[in-house]
Amino acid sequence: MTNMSRARVARRIAAGAAYGGGGVGLAGAAAVGLLLAEVRLARRHVGNGSGGRVPVADGMYGLTYAVPGEPPLRLVMLGDSTAAGQGVHRAGQTPGALLASGLAAVAERPVELRNVALPGAQSDDLDRQVALVLSAAAPVPDICVIMIGANDVTHRMPPTRSVRHLSSAVRRLRTAGAEVVVGTCPDLGTIEPVQQPLRWLARRASRQLAAAQTIGAVEQGGRTVSLGDLLGPEFEANPRELFGPDNYHPSAEGYATAAMAVLPTVCAALGLWPAEEERPDVMRREGFLPVARAAAEAASEAGTEVTAAMPTGPRGPWALLKRRRRRRVPEAEPATPSV
């Protein structure tokens, strides 16, 4: 699928999500039957993403930067098993801990991490997760990171419904005053036991949903980072290293690679990235594009950031597409429990 056709499909899905339209198919009806049969077969090998212990990483990171009277930055993770960190054994290997320790180092300020992500969650669980985040007992976070979408594809959630729930979550968090970064649907075509034709169908469905998620999130004031096939080459070259023991969830190295891609956008959303990095770099093919086209390009190239720019143009809202330099994220130190 070309970027232009992916942009058209993404626009249709996002419009359906915004105006309550029906499901826009991710693949033809005949292909869906084959996809389901192959998914059931693949799940016997990789599991359904809902089991296993997830390390608890909540707490304070970067206490060496503490200054009396200065509150910590508050980071919350929402989403599915990828956001929770399923597949690793130590809390410091989860994406939340990696992002919290990396953010603390850049900001030179402690970061309090809270994770409300649920393994196996689909986008309709974001309503519940956001309610937890915005409960009266908890301060509004400075930044929220959402990673969601894979289970929507494998469980056949209509993409319009998926994007509607994500857009609502971003809108509620932004209205409350939190910055929001969304790691869009990863490329399910990189899962090792999955064979053709499911691999091709999964890649196509994943990228279509990721592009539509980008439109929905950016239009509500969030930023997105495409996870896409970010780990694809590494998975294919060394799947035993970058997948966890279940061959479905990333290993510690896989989560570190994803955190490296997301951290610069998290820092930029909080105004912590160097000012010169905010200007589009033509040499890196950055620039302003209609949001649907930016979303399609981001879905095709993992690690690409999309954020809102000019409110409108001849072809609708515009966005800034950036390919930020990734920052090395070492394994986090154990968190200090929050008080």
* Contact (CB, 8 A) for 232 and 186: no
Strands in the chain per DSSP E: 59-61, 73-79, 111-115, 143-147, 179-183, 223-225, 287-290, 305-308, 318-322
* Contact (CB, 8 A) for 146 and 166: yes
- Per-residue DSSP letters for 168-209? HHHHHHHHHT-EEEEEPPB-GGG-TT--TTHHHHHHHHHHHH
- Per-residue DSSP letters for 44-62? HHH--S--S------EEE-
- Name the catalytic one among 81, 123, 206, 300: 81
Q: Distance between CA atoms of 260 and 329, rounded to whole angstroms?
A: 6
- Name the catalytic one among 101, 249, 251, 300: 249
Say which residues have a Cβ less than 8 Å from residue 88's Cβ, sequence separation at least 6: 55, 94, 244, 250, 251, 252, 255
Cα 317 from chain centroid (whole Å): 22
Cα 127 from chain centroid (whole Å): 16
Q: How many residues does the chain have?
A: 339
Residue 249 designated active-site: yes
Position 199: which residue type? R
For tokens 């690793």, the residue is 88
Q: Which residues are catalytic?
A: 81, 246, 249
